[in-house]
Amino acid sequence: MAIDLQQRTTELLQDLIRFDTVNPPGNEEAAQRFLAEKLEGVGFTCELIADVPGRPNLIATLASGSDGPSLTYLGHVDTVLADPDAWTADPWSGELRDGCVWGRGAIDMKSQVAAEIAAVLELRDGGWSPSRGELKVVVTADEEAGATHGAKFLCEQHPEKVRTDMVVNEGGGPLIPFGDQRLYGVCVAEKGVFRFTLTAEGTAGHASIPRIGDNALLKLAPLIQAMAARQPSFESSPEPEAFLEAVGIPSDDLGAALEAVRERDPRFAILFEPTLGVTISPTMASASDKINVIPSRACIKVDCRVPPGRGQDHAEAQIRSVLGDNGYGLEFDERVIGNRSAAETELMGHIRDFVEAEDPGALVFPTVLPGFTDSRWYREAFPDCAAYGFFPQRTMDMYEAAPLIHGADERIPVEDLGFAARFYTGLAEKVL
């Protein structure tokens, strides 16, 4: 008896969760070979390409033999760690309970990998082949630790193997209830990362005599207070403006627009605000190595995210607008410029058609992700490709799903697994 698509996706996700791929160390090889065997069994040509031993990336290709677009279903099989003591289920059990699959990676992002692969297995079992172009399934290692051995490695060292026109990856798709509207975001852009260190200098001394030295740590207090008091000024960019247009909120005054968003749904305002400009979040501090020594040097490390396309000079100007220009040293530790794909493409049209068919009246809009995914490496390597994040979910909306990502009791409804797999099945049929 044939297994229906939802059941097939559910069982595949359960199998994937049972591979412990916590990164570090990753150990993705067993999971990748498991997936490669399934795809080779239905006619895909598979390669396992590793930058370091035991951590291969899977590239599976189904070609038509005719010219046409290349469509890539992208995912990663590594996960963050999990503390079993904080869970009500074994994080690596893939337990099916209360209509959900439980386990680390159930949302981020073994679920999407399972839905993408279940979709192409279903197509092949039904006798489908692309009539033009090619379908690729790329499953990477090391995404959770920066993709040095994963998508970054593939796009920089093996671009001819992963070159594509359309990419569907993580980063968007869950239903967003917003007032009386139902919204689905498509991640078309990701902010850049410009993390930096603030340093204050002083003079060491014995801590039992507070005024004998010049305490560098105290000089950082005003900087911390400044960052607690406000973020850099809001600035216009295409994705938040597209959202405001979609929901009928004027965008000429972004402060007023944020207040209007907050009035409709304060939950969404928390997620929307970081898309409006540069953000700075102090996360780490260091000073004296001994409790009885006044520190002569103290540092704060700050996570800084910058709108797509804007670089270090812009980031620094916005940082100094909050901190002022004097009394500290500033050094950038990471410099990654964010990027975007065009928002109006054939791929976006297919997504809108799917949502309209499945959830009539719901709105689809482009979004920018405050963090980043493997899509950024594809956009950088192939500037003309449309690299989007879209994993549709509606049984569990964004407000329910977001706290579970990297958290305890991560889980996903099986209905959403079927919902997403239907999208990936139909998309390949339409594009190819």
**Together in a domain, 157 and 217:** no
**Together in a domain, 116 and 94:** yes
Separate counts of helices (H) and strands (E) for the chain: 14, 20
Neighbours of 270 (CB within 10 A): 13
Specify the pLDDT at position 3: 64
**Together in a domain, 174 and 199:** no
**Together in a domain, 103 and 234:** no
Looking at residue 80, its amino acid is V
Reported as type and span, the H/E element at residue 7 is helix 5-17
The two structure tokens encoding residue 248: 């009928």
Give the Cα separation of 46 and 75 in Å (integer): 15
Specify the pLDDT at position 2: 46
Establish if 390 belongs to a structural domain.
Answer: yes
Establish if 337 belongs to a structural domain.
Answer: no
160 is catalytic: no
**Together in a domain, 286 and 417:** no
Phi-psi region of 196 (alpha: psi -120 to 50; beta: other; left: phi over 0): beta
**Together in a domain, 83 and 115:** yes
Give the Cα separation of 250 and 102 in Å (integer): 41
Of 189, 188, 181, 185, the C-alpha closest to 173 is 185
Range of the domain at 231: 192-332
Establish if 183 belongs to a structural domain.
Answer: no
* Nearest 10 degrees: Cα torsion 386, 240, 410, 91: 50
Torsions phi, psi of 137, nearest 5?
-120, 115
Of these residues, 11, 134, 143, 170, which one is catalytic?
143
Per the listing, tokens 């490669």 go with: 36
**Together in a domain, 138 and 101:** yes
SS3 302: strand
**Cα separation of the two ends of the chain:** 28
414-431 helix and 5-17 helix, angle to the nearest 10 degrees: 110
Q: CB of 287 within 8 A of CB of 305?
A: no
Of 76, 47, 77, the C-alpha closest to 60 is 47
Look up the CATH number of the domain holding residue 10: 3.40.630.10
Specify the pLDDT at position 1: 33
Specify the pLDDT at position 334: 94
Look up the CATH number of the domain holding residue 261: 3.30.70.360
**Together in a domain, 224 and 363:** no
Give the Cα separation of 137 and 46 in Å (integer): 9
Give the Cα separation of 415 and 419 in Å (integer): 6
Establish if 187 belongs to a structural domain.
Answer: no
Domain boundary among 305, 332, 359: 332
Domain boundary among 332, 350, 367: 332
Establish if 184 belongs to a structural domain.
Answer: no
The two structure tokens encoding residue 159: 């671009």
DSSP letter for 336, please. Answer: B
Of 370, 369, 352, 350, the C-alpha closest to 361 is 352
Of these residues, 78, 116, 142, 165, which one is catalytic?
78
SS3 225: helix
Give the Cα separation of 305 and 302 in Å (integer): 10
**Together in a domain, 285 and 213:** yes
Establish if 256 belongs to a structural domain.
Answer: yes
Specify the pLDDT at position 371: 87
Neighbours of 61 (CB within 10 A): 18
Of 140, 16, 146, 131, the C-alpha closest to 72 is 140
Looking at residue 306, its amino acid is V
Specify the pLDDT at position 372: 85
Specify the pLDDT at position 143: 97
Give the residues of the chain that fall short of pLDDT 70. 1-3
143 is catalytic: yes
* Nearest 10 degrees: Cα torsion 16, 17, 20, 22: 110
Give the Cα separation of 186 and 419 in Å (integer): 16
**Together in a domain, 46 and 102:** yes
Q: Which residues of 70-106 are buried (b: 16+ CB within 10 A; e: fewer)?
A: bbbbbbbbbbeebeeeebebebbbbbeeeebbbbbbb
Establish if 112 belongs to a structural domain.
Answer: yes
Give the Cα separation of 367 and 431 in Å (integer): 23
Residues 6+ apart with CB under 8 A from 47: 58, 59, 60, 161
Q: CB of 145 within 8 A of CB of 24?
A: yes
Give the Cα separation of 173 and 176 in Å (integer): 9
Establish if 20 belongs to a structural domain.
Answer: yes
Torsions phi, psi of 78, nearest 5?
-80, 160
**Together in a domain, 254 and 205:** yes
The structural domain count of the chain equals 2
Give the Cα separation of 352 and 332 in Å (integer): 40
SS3 404: helix
**Together in a domain, 286 and 425:** no
